[in-house]
A = this chain, B = another copy of it.
Amino acid sequence: MKRTLSNECKNKVGEKVNIKGWMNQLRELGKINFLILRDRRGYIQVVIEDKNQIKKLKDCQIGTVLSIIGKVQKADQTDLGVEITEPKIEVITKATHTPPIEYNKDEIHANPDTILDYRPIAVRNKKLQAVFKVQSTILKSFRQSLRDQEFVEFRNPVLLEAASESGADVFEVKYFDRKAYLCQSPQIYKQIMIGAYERAFTITPVFRAEKHHTSRHLTELTHMDGEMAFVDDYHQIFEVCEKVVKDVFNAINTENKKELKLWKATTPKLPKGKIPEIKIKDALEIIEKRMGKSAKRKLDLEPEDERELCKWAQDKYGSELLWVTHFFKDKNFYTWNDPENSEESLSYDLLCRGIEWLSGTVRIEKYEKLIENMKKLGLDEENYSGYLQAFKYGMPPEAGFSFGLERMTQKIFDFGNIRQATLFPRDVERLSP
C-alpha cells in the first residue's frame, strides 16, 4: 500500500491509509490509547483501542519506527483536524532504549552541552528541526539572490600550501611529506575568480585555530562569500548585500512561517530605505556617550560595543541592521585606505542584533601597491604568487564581503550562543559527534 504522509491525511477523511514514521508519544489510558506518529511533514494522532495492536508496542521506546494502516477520521481537537482510527500496527524498527533526552517534547529540558552531546537525536525535536530548516532556507536564498545579481558560484579549495595572512590561528595538516593549512577565508580565490566573471561567490567551511571559550567562537564555520569587480564606490557592495539580506528575510518569512512561529522569532527589522551607516570614529563617540566609557581609536569593536550600537540604530533609525565603516588602518595588505583620510580604511561591517553578520573591504587592485604593502609587512611574495598573478595581469577596482551563516541563523532566533545555530559545532573541546 502506498505511503500517505501525515499532512496528506486531511484530504482523505473516511479512507484507509498507510502512514509511516517514528513513535513520538504514547499515552496508554487502558481501553483507549493515543499514539503520536512523526514523519517528515509533521505529527498525526493514532487512536488505538484494540488490545492486540497495543500489545505490539510492548517495550517499544520513543523513536520506534512504525507502519500503520488505519482509517482517517475527523478530529477537530487535533492540529491536523484528523486522526487515525482502527489501526493495524507493524513495527519496522524497534527502539529498545529510552532516549537520554526528551527530544519528543516541545522543549528539550537539558543543559546546552547535553543537547550538543545528543545532537543526533536532539535534532529530531520539533523546535530544533525548525532552526536548521531556516538555515537551509538561508543557504538557498543567499545563493539565489547572488545568482539573480549575476554572481557565479565556484568551489574554492580548503587545503592551502601557505597559511593565509598572518599565519596565526591556522590549523596545520600533515600533507604527505610536507605541511598544508586549512583555509581561514576563501578571499584569495574569490578575488582570482572575478578576473574571469566579475562577480563570484562561494559558500565554504573556514577554520580558525582560536583557543577562545566564548559564545561566539567556533573553530569551523560556514562563510558565505562574495566578490565584485568594477566597484567605484563601496555603496555598490552595500546595495548587493542589502538585496541579499532582503531576499533571505523574504524567503524565510514566506517558506518558514511555521518554524518562526514555534520560536516566536521574527526576521530583523529593516528600515524603510537603506540600512543606516556610520563611521567607526563616530560610532566610538556614541559608545562613549551612551556607555560612559572611553572608546578612543580602537581597531575593532568589542561585543558590548556592537550590542550598544545596534540599540542606537534601533532607537534612531528603527533598523536592526547597521553598517559600520572606515575602521582605523587595518594591518592587512590588501585593503585601500580612504583617499580622503589615510588613517581610515575602506572597510565595513554589517551589524545585526548586537553582532557582526558580515565584514568586507575595498581591495587594492594595483599590483605594485600590493607588492609595496607586502614588503612593508614583511610578507613573502612567494606565498601569494597565485593571488598576485590575478593582479599582475590586470584587475579592476573591486570589493568583497563575507557573511557568517551560523551568526545569521543565531540572530534570527536570537540565541545567546552560536552553538545553538550550528548542527555539529567544533571548538577547543568539542570535535564530535
- A-to-B contact residues, CB < 8 Å: 3, 20, 22-23, 39-40, 61-65, 92-93, 95, 97, 99, 118-121, 123-124, 128-129, 132-133, 135-136, 139-140, 143, 147, 150, 152-162, 171-176, 180, 182, 188-189, 192-193, 195-199, 204-205, 207, 209, 211, 219-220, 222, 229-230, 365-366, 385-387, 389-390, 392-397, 405, 422-424, 426, 428, 431-433
Judge whether A176 and B93 touch: CB under 8 Å.
no
Judge whether A173 and B173 touch: CB under 8 Å.
yes
A432 CA to B386 CA in the complex, in Å?
Answer: 7
A317 CA to B320 CA in the complex, in Å?
Answer: 60
Secondary structure of the A contact surface, majority rule: mixed
- Picked from B120, B174, B192, B366, the residue with its CB within 8 Å of the CB of A192 is B120
Q: From known contacts A140-B147, A209-B176, A386-B119, infer whether A431 and B393 are also in contact, taking CB-CB under 8 Å.
A: no
Judge whether B171 and A171 touch: CB under 8 Å.
no
Judge whether A155 and B176 touch: CB under 8 Å.
no
A393 CA to B211 CA in the complex, in Å?
Answer: 34
Judge whether A387 and B155 touch: CB under 8 Å.
no
- The distance from the CB of A177 to the nearest CB of chain B, in whole angstroms, is 9
Judge whether A392 and B150 touch: CB under 8 Å.
no
Q: From known contacts A120-B389, A393-B61, infer whether A159 and B433 are also in contact, taking CB-CB under 8 Å.
A: no
- Picked from B20, B154, B162, B405, the residue with its CB within 8 Å of the CB of A136 is B154
Residue of B nearest to A64 (CB): B394
- Picked from B97, B197, B394, the residue with its CB within 8 Å of the CB of A393 is B97
A285 CA to B231 CA in the complex, in Å?
Answer: 61
Judge whether A219 and B159 touch: CB under 8 Å.
yes
Judge whether B426 and A159 touch: CB under 8 Å.
yes
Judge whether A95 and B393 touch: CB under 8 Å.
yes
A237 CA to B389 CA in the complex, in Å?
Answer: 45
- Picked from B152, B390, B392, B433, the residue with its CB within 8 Å of the CB of A385 is B433
Residue of B nearest to A150 (CB): B40
- Picked from B39, B426, B433, the residue with its CB within 8 Å of the CB of A198 is B39
Judge whether B123 and A136 touch: CB under 8 Å.
no
Residues of B contacting A423 with CB < 8 Å?
A: 154-157, 189, 193
Residues of B contacting A432 with CB < 8 Å?
A: 160-162, 385-386
Judge whether B153 and A136 touch: CB under 8 Å.
yes
The contact sample of 7 A-B pairs, CB cut-off 8 A, is A22-B396, A93-B396, A93-B397, A132-B154, A135-B154, A155-B423, A159-B171
A217 CA to B95 CA in the complex, in Å?
Answer: 41
